Copies of this chain bind each other. A is one copy, B any other.
Amino acid sequence: MTAPRSAGVSEELKEQGRSAQKRRAILDAATEVFLQKGYLATNMDEIAALAAVSKQTVYKNFPGKETLFVEIVRSVTNRAGDRVLGEMPDLAEGEDIAEYLRRYADRQLTIVLTPRVMQLRRLVIGEVGRFPELARALYDGGPGRAMTMLTALFERLAARGLLAIDDPAIAASHFNWLVMGEPLSKAMLLGDDAIPKSAELRRYAEAGVRAFLASYGK
């Protein structure tokens, strides 16, 4: 940290800080309002009121409701994706592959199956007909990104002779759905109360990985 060189620069930095703070407040407020009222019933006035900024400030940051919502979808999805994929080192020499895959599966379930992510996913799915680009942003940053990463991972594990895989993309999809299918579908249709607790998530991870390795293991 360096001290600002003049009062002018210091004022500028303060102004930048205030702007970033306001932008963050608008995003947080908008997330609350969208998730509570749905996309259609949300209006910019309420978001401005909850964020304690003027409506002009909202529009200065986000030209419209749709831009604002796409930004929320991107930021929630990308943050979840970063957390799932960020802590994914390659399998070490001699490390147990079942344990390695279980750890990944458990992390993915724990990070994705949260009320916030599920609520956003439901809202986005409900608006696919009217706003396909929202769902596209969620797909690309969420399942699409995970699938690309898993495909590359299984390709490397097959090349090392640790898995028997013809088509890494299909194997990635099978792994993903063996682990996520049931709990995700239940959470989507039966609501946040149907999100399994961590011990149950661990059982989904275990059963999914066991079936995956019975099929694709060596």
Chain A interface (Cβ < 8 Å from any Cβ of B)? 35, 38, 40-41, 119, 122-130, 132, 135-136, 138-139, 143, 167, 170, 173-174, 176-178, 180-182, 185-186, 188-191, 207-208, 211-212, 214-216
Chain B residue at smallest Cβ distance from A172: B182
Task: Give chain B residues whose Cβ lies under 8 Å from the Cβ of A185.
Answer: 143, 177
Q: Is the CB of B119 within 8 A of A191?
A: no
Q: Is the CB of B41 within 8 A of A189?
A: no
Task: Give chain B residues whose Cβ lies under 8 Å from the Cβ of A130.
Answer: 38
Least distance between A108 CB and chain B CB atoms (Å)? 14
Q: Identify 11 new A-B residue pairs, CB closer than 8 A, beyond the known A128-B189, A132-B191.
A: A40-B40, A122-B126, A125-B189, A136-B189, A170-B211, A174-B178, A174-B211, A176-B181, A177-B177, A177-B182, A177-B185
Least distance between A38 CB and chain B CB atoms (Å)? 7
Q: Is the CB of A190 within 8 A of B41?
A: no
Q: Is the CB of A128 within 8 A of B139?
A: no
Chain B residue at smallest Cβ distance from A138: B189
Task: Give chain B residues whose Cβ lies under 8 Å from the Cβ of A143.
Answer: 185, 189
